[in-house]
A = this chain, B = another copy of it.
Amino acid sequence: MIKIVIIGSGNVARHLISAFSESAEVELVQVYSRSEESATGIPEAIRVTHDLNNLAEADVYIIAVSDDAIGAVSGSLPFNDRFVLHTSGSVSIDALSSNNRNGVLYPLQTFSKNKAVDFRQIPICIESGSPEMYPLIEKLARSISDTVFKIDSQQRNTLHVSAVFVNNFTNHLYKIGNDLCTEHGIPFDILKPLIRETAEKVMVLSPSEAQTGPARRGDSNTIKKHLELLSDENQRNIYTLLTQSIQNHGEKL
């Protein structure tokens, strides 16, 4: 059994708490949360502390706090030479205090409070500051996920910005679709099967193979009609920029 302590009580921390609680190879010995209030909803069976000086003995400490707080929290840990991981996609391994041996365990997923996720399907990107620590991080990751990738800090940055494109920006395009429908009395539900199929297509085809639409076809009549139809300048700007980018195959200028 790998004994772990999770430091944090936000979205990512809570998903890790529930994933590791179900793992047969891991014992979650303690959770740290800043205050009693922030610990609300953590299952009662789990030991909680609000004082970093009372952290329990463990094989691995997992810091799952906001990006900006990672450095300070790792610097406040009252011990040396233990294994300490953070879970952020956009923070370098070097942000962790060198008092301890460091690594990263980054689950690449979008976590919402109100939607359960199947953790075994979530890719986990791991990095180790020292080779002897790697097998333990890998074992920890594999105990909750079926897909584990070795990814260094620079690759993780790239992955994080890629995730912004395919997740945050994509969701914003859904919002624009929703706004247009609402404005014209059309139920957004009509678009849902298309949204799902668009995502499913790139599971089996490359995005280049899957590309369709007026920009891809060079159908300038339809493009012109669409731009006339959009009354919002922001929507027109996005339409124009993405149409041009598709026509240039998203290539470097």
Contact = CB atoms under 8 A, between A and B. Distances in A.
A175 B108 contact: no
A225 B90 contact: yes
Interface string A125-148: 100000000000000000000010
Given A158-B186, A248-B234, A250-B234, A202 B215 contact: no
Nearest to A191: B166
Contact of A186 (B155, B207, B253): B155
A252 B238 CA distance: 13
Interface stretch (A28-36, A70-78, A116-124): A116-124
Contact of A159 (B112, B181, B193, B222): B181
Interface in A173-217: 173-181, 183-208, 210-216
Contacts of A203: 192, 196
Contacts of A231: 252
Interface stretch (A14-22, A57-65, A96-104, A239-247): A239-247
A245 B238 contact: yes
Contact of A212 (B167, B195, B212): B167
Given A108-B190, A175-B250, A190-B159, A197 B165 contact: no
Given A161-B229, A181-B162, A194-B167, A199 B199 contact: yes
Contact of A158 (B151, B161, B229, B245): B229
A179 B219 CA distance: 25
A193 B158 contact: no
A168 interface: yes
A253 B233 contact: yes
Given A195-B202, A202-B195, A225-B90, A173 B170 contact: yes
A239 B164 contact: yes
The residue in A122, A157, A176, A183 that gathers the most chain B C-beta atoms within 10 A of its C-beta is: A176
A127 to B, nearest CB: 13
Given A90-B226, A158-B181, A162-B177, 13 more contacts: A112-B212, A123-B190, A147-B189, A158-B180, A159-B186, A161-B239, A164-B213, A164-B214, A166-B191, A172-B245, A174-B202, A234-B245, A234-B253
